[in-house]
Structure 1
Amino acid sequence: MTKEPGQSPAGWVRKAGGIGWFIRRFGVAQLFIKPIRTLVAPLVIPLLRERAVAFRGESIPLVYARYNVTWANERCVELALARRFLARAPSERILEVGHVTPHYFGGGHTVVDKYEPGALPVDIVDFESDRRFDLILSISTFEHIAFDEAGGAAEPEAVSAKIRAAVDRCLALLAPGGTFAITVPMGYNPALDEMIAADELGADRATWFKRFPARQWREVGREEGLECRYGSPYAFANGIMLAEWDG
């Protein structure tokens, strides 16, 4: 189980809207619960029973880490999937949208993120490169596009348009034969949820995972995935979608 402490997300929270934004998105209880879990993580993680998620004939270990208390939310399964993708491409041929996996697995690949140090400080829509990438990966980032920007969320139509532009830009940067893969939590961004329900993202494949008791995550069908709510019955995401595009 991964135990990288990573970097504090406080800067990102401040830029997205501060404590008020955090409470609106995640609830006042998490303002206290999450720091406590972070503090006790070195004691808790070694005691947890290891879990795995089944995906395409493989049993992939979930990732438990102190940073972002992954054992208590969807990040554990997202990182398990991310590690699988990262292992299938050389680092110089990988582009990550959102500075996520370097907190857990180290870096070496190109990362774009407007908010976090250690990444290229550019919006993916504006990112230019002469290279084409074999893997473009984004972990729980697309739901924030135009929805968690400084100054407040844009109108739903503007959110959808910006997400569409980000998808199109990633596809333009994808090498022939490559893979563009994103994970997003269901129920977090209403405009994105509507795009997903209407199949407007245009992904070649979509896989749904749902949280069950005792920190278990399992693949479920589309309809069951679409019904997952954010923050209920468990804190944070109760279902995620993995979307993939082929180059």
Structure 2
Amino acid sequence: MDLNAYARYALFVVPSSAFYAAGAAWLGWDSVSGETVAHPSVPGVPVSVDALTEKPRKYGLHGTIKAPFALAPGQTEAALRAACRSFCADQPPVRLPGLKITRLNRFVAAVPTAPSSELGTLAAAAVEALDPFRAPLTEAEIARRRASRLTAAQDALLLRWGYPYVMDAFRFHLTLTGPHPQAEALQNALTAHLAPTLPSPFDITDLALMGEDGAGRFHLLNRFTLAAHPR
């Protein structure tokens, strides 16, 4: 019998570069090695790094492609791995011109320096392809998401796909902080700290299947290569 070892699964972009090492240290969690990492000392950060990164830490440095989900009844981790492998083998790699540090409302993230329709297409295809593996949201989960004051379009996406920021609402980003009123100061400090490691270009050549353990931290399970030639 195939036992599902994790509470939830997700499909992420997880960089494999100096930027990843710097970002994992900043967050305090390396999802690839499954180890905690000491926070660096970053000049200009006005608050405790540990408190500032508490919310994003458990996910590790990542960009969401398919948001975390529990497996649907009858589905297995082994079948999900196989589906991810098959999906990625049929998708082309994506090249972004680079990443920059910016504010998204009250938190700070790394985002592409220019929009990419190819990345949006990849994310939409992944959301649809893996949706049969996703357990339906509970009423409590729906209520928690709706507490964020979703638009009507986002609410419809939540009910259809289990997550409100997909398809036309998808905005790729790698979260670096939780919400904080001094986001501008944090943006400036993290730009200075991470600038030497920011990739340019940023090539997405694989997607990472992640599993959430009992403590709520995500671990790398597999990297699946994006193998198809660009269309």
TM over 0.5, shorter chain: no
Relative contact order, higher structure (CA 8 A, sep 6+): 2
State the TM-score, normalized to the length of structure 2: 0.27
TM-score (norm 1): 0.25
